[in-house]
Amino acid sequence: MTRRNAIIGWITLAVFFVIFIVPFIFIFLTAAKDVQESAMLEFSWPSNWHVWENFMAVIKARNYMLLLAYFNSTVITVGAITLVVVLSAMIGYIIQRRPGRTNDVVMATIMAGLMISAGGRAHNLGPAILGTVQDIAWYDPDPGILQPVLWRAFVQVLYRNNSARLGRGRNYRRGQTATDLLPGDPTAIKTGYRNTDCGAVCHNLQRLHQYAILPSRS
Amino acid sequence: MTLMSLSRPNSLAFLAGTNPDKAMFVQCVTCARPGQTATVKIMAKRKSAYPYWFHVPGIFIYALLFLVPSASAFFFSMTRWDLFEWTWIGFENYEQFFKEPFLVEGIWHTVIYAFLTSGTKTVLGLLLAVLLTSGLKFQGFLRSTVFFPVLVSTIGVGIAFAQMMHPTKGTINVTLAAIGIDGPGWLVDPELALYTVAIVDIWKGVGLATLIYIAGLASISPEYYEAARIDGATRVQQFWRVTVPLVRPATVTVLILSLIGGLRSFDIIWAMTRGGPGFASDVLASVIFKQYQAGFYGLSTAGSVILFIMVALIIMPIVYFLNRREVDL
């Protein structure tokens, strides 16, 4: 840790404190005030702390509706995420690995789902599947860090386990990339892939190969 | 091997010993005679490791919860509808929608809002990601801080910021007054309200962009930077010549996701201004919701269809353009 990084670190911390943390302090302090005091909208220390009363009031409101809501949310979330993880991974896997007209149609339908807003948010499945395809197509085999959503983690597992099948049917050994396996000049192969007309979905696969080849060009 | 005897041996010699279903694909492209293709198809059917039935459960739910409601949306947008009875009126809803100046204004607000938020999120996200991968002190804590607003409820954030942006009593203007600045009426000024909401949206959403960019930056090999340094590139040159081109997949993801999110955004606008003052910060989604609340179900459904078409018209060319450029990289 250089001196410079320490100084920039402190400055960033100060800026982030004002921009990202102060609003949450405001939320917390307001949540601890009684009704009259909170209505003044002041950024001030509460004269009396009402944390527990406010907390209980929220829970008790409308005959403990909050607890029921939590229960419902949990059931919906767990159920939905489970389904999304399993089903969208299945679809994304097939779309990615089996280029063809059928999958072009499926992909286009799912893309439409991402853009439509009618029917509310009941269609989380669409973005998830698209994300699966994007993840397989766009991310390095070693994405490093921070795959925020559960299904992404799942897809990564799927991807790693099956990366052996990528690249013209040859088998990878551990640690190899597409560059190591594709014979000849990578640029020529890249051009060959580009000239192959295999529909929109297949471009994702082509892109993956290019992305894997990319590090060898310098 | 049957495969070999049915096909042109020379062109397929390299397939010997490879994964059969991959071989099927290549062969189907190169085969000339119909008889060969048929044989190949039978084999592919038996051997494919990627069966189409994987689509069935997902597509079933997708059709049930999305395709059917969407198709019915197109239908009901052509009707006068009170949820129980409908009368066919053709394109009257659409005509009405485009005749109402406030509704048309909502379309422009949507476009401005979406491009403003997604553009700023992309730029800020990249800069923050570069900053937060440069080995600062408190780096882990700072990453968590910038991501934290993504996790909390949009409605809660909207309410809290609406309080802090109160023109006279709000924390922001009180603070500005203390250092001698006359703060603007953030949410009550019709000229400003939409941009204020956009700022709060950026505040809340920039963490996700940063996160995606950090993952993207992590996949760039350090060797590029090493080579650039040896060639004498400055930090700024490294950023423009190495980071920006190579982080492109992340840029595409961030841009598309935040643009679609911006075009469809509703909850933060509803929590902060309800489209007000007047119609100054009304976007399409809030217009649709207001029509729905007022009981104009047909009209609001027509609005949804317009929103869909608009998102498609904006997103499709952008996706096409970005993907094509990526191929040329």
Residue A185 clears pLDDT 60, i.e. is over it: no
Per-residue confidence (pLDDT) for residue B210, from 0 to 100: 93
Tokens describing residue A17:
């404190």
Per-residue pLDDT reduced to its tens digit, A87-119: 878 888 888 787 788 888 887 777 666 655 433
pTM of the model: 0.66
Per-residue confidence (pLDDT) for residue B288, from 0 to 100: 78
Per-residue pLDDT reduced to its tens digit, B73-96: 777 778 777 666 777 887 887 888
- pLDDT, averaged across chain A: 59
Residue indicated by tokens 């949306």: B73
Partners of residue B51 in chain A, C-beta under 8 Å = 94
Partners of residue B211 in chain A, C-beta under 8 Å = 146, 148
Structural element, H or E, at residue B201: helix B193-218
Task: Measure A141 CA to nearest chain B CA, in Å.
Answer: 9
Per-residue pLDDT reduced to its tens digit, A117-170: 433 333 333 344 434 333 333 333 333 222 223 333 333 333 333 332 333 233
Task: Measure B184 CA to nearest chain A CA, in Å.
Answer: 17
Cα distances from A92 to residues A210, B52, B55, B188, in angstroms, run: 20, 11, 9, 46
CA distance linking residue A167 with residue A60, whole number of Å: 59
Per-residue confidence (pLDDT) for residue B104, from 0 to 100: 83
Q: Which residue has the higher pLDDT, B273 or A70?
A: B273
CA distance linking residue B208 with residue B6, whole number of Å: 54
The answer, for B245 touching chain A at a CB cutoff of 8 Å, is no
Per-residue confidence (pLDDT) for residue B46, from 0 to 100: 57
Residue A16 clears pLDDT 80, i.e. is over it: yes
SS3 annotation, A29-69: HHHCCCHHHHHCCCCCCCCCCCHHHHHHHHHHHHHHHHHHH
Per-residue confidence (pLDDT) for residue A114, from 0 to 100: 61
Is this complex's ipTM strictly greater than 0.90? Answer: no
Per-residue confidence (pLDDT) for residue A98, from 0 to 100: 79
Q: Which residue has the higher pLDDT, A58 or A113?
A: A58
Task: Measure B196 CA to nearest chain A CA, in Å.
Answer: 15
The answer to whether A113 contacts B62, with C-beta atoms less than 8 Å apart, is: yes
The answer, for B131 touching chain A at a CB cutoff of 8 Å, is yes
Q: Say how many CB pairs under 8 Å bridge A and B.
A: 202
Block means of pLDDT (10 residues each) for chain B, 329 residues, are 40 43 47 50 59 84 71 76 74 82 85 93 94 87 90 85 84 84 81 90 92 88 89 89 87 85 84 81 81 74 80 82 60
